[in-house]
């Protein structure tokens, strides 16, 4: 218990850092995931190709390699931002590929006749997608989207290796101070458990209210 009580500020800073990374990266992933899912079902071939390339490249690229590309590669092109912003970009873009596929699978569950009926009424692709298809698709993709964001929270631990303040990185400071590495990691694991359970409960409540009855 002394590991936690004697270093409350260290754990607190790391915990808040992980929460911030998770929240901002999740928002970016949801926006990009929605956009790429729209591209992948769009009637324009160029948009479908762009969405396919985005998903294929990011889903098959190790997240650590993506961190290296973003945090060390972008500054070489003159884009200099705080490391936390780079970490959000890496996490958000990577996770957006999985959000995209979850949304696309939900879109595919909506009967094609509904989209055809909407188009016959003169609705545009954007109107059909936003007003008819996505509201129905969203109900079926709540669980996989929630699981993806839980994975994002755990993946944020990689950011600590790139000078970004987050929960797992606190072990280095505490190890240098001579605290037990076992108890250090136990409290770190508890912090991640709090974050992931919060996300799980949030999406469980959302599923109960808006999800498809099974």
Q: pTM here? A: 0.86
CA 47 to each of CA 39, 54, 94, 137, 138: distance values in angstroms, whole numbers, following the listed order: 5, 11, 19, 20, 22
What tokens appear for 65 in the block? 């390699």
Q: How far apart are CA 43 and CA 54, in angstroms?
A: 17
Per-residue model confidence (pLDDT) at position 209: 78
User: Mean pLDDT across the stretch 71-94?
Assistant: 88
- Helices 134-155 and 181-210: crossing angle, nearest 10°? 180
Higher pLDDT pick, 94 / 14:
94
Q: What is the mean pLDDT of residues 169-190?
A: 74
Decide if pLDDT at 196 tops 90: yes
When pLDDT is averaged across residues 18-22 and rounded to a whole number, the result is 93
How many Cα neighbours within 13 Å face the side chain of 4? 11
67 exposed, middle or buried (CB, 10 Å; 0-12, 13-18, 19+)?
Answer: buried
Would you state the structure tokens that stand for residue 188, as one six-digit string? Answer: 């770190």
The CA distance from 88 to 67, in Å, is 10
Of 10-14, 45-49, 68-72, 90-94, least confident by mean pLDDT is 10-14
């Amino acid at each position: 218990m002394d590991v936690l009580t004697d270093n409350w500020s260290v754990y607190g800073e790391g915990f808040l850092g992980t929460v911030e990374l998770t929240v901002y990266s999740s928002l970016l992933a949801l926006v990009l995931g929605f956009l790429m899912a729209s591209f992948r079902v769009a009637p324009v071939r160029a948009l479908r190709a762009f969405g396919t390339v985005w998903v294929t490249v990011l889903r098959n690229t190790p997240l650590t390699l993506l961190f290296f590309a973003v945090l060390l590669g972008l500054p070489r092109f003159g884009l200099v931002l705080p490391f936390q912003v780079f970490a959000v970009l890496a996490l958000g873009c990577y996770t957006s590929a999985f959000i995209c596929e979850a949304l696309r699978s939900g879109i595919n569950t909506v009967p094609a006749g509904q989209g055809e009926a909407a188009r016959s009424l003169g609705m545009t692709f954007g109107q059909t997608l936003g007003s008819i298809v996505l509201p129905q698709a969203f109900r079926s993709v709540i669980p996989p989207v929630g699981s993806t964001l839980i994975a994002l929270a755990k993946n944020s631990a990689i950011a600590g290796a790139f000078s970004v303040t987050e929960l797992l990185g606190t072990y280095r400071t505490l190890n240098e101070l001579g605290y037990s590495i076992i108890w250090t990691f136990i409290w770190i694991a508890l912090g991640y458990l709090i974050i992931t359970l919060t996300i799980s409960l949030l999406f469980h409540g959302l599923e109960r209210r808006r999800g498809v009855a099974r």
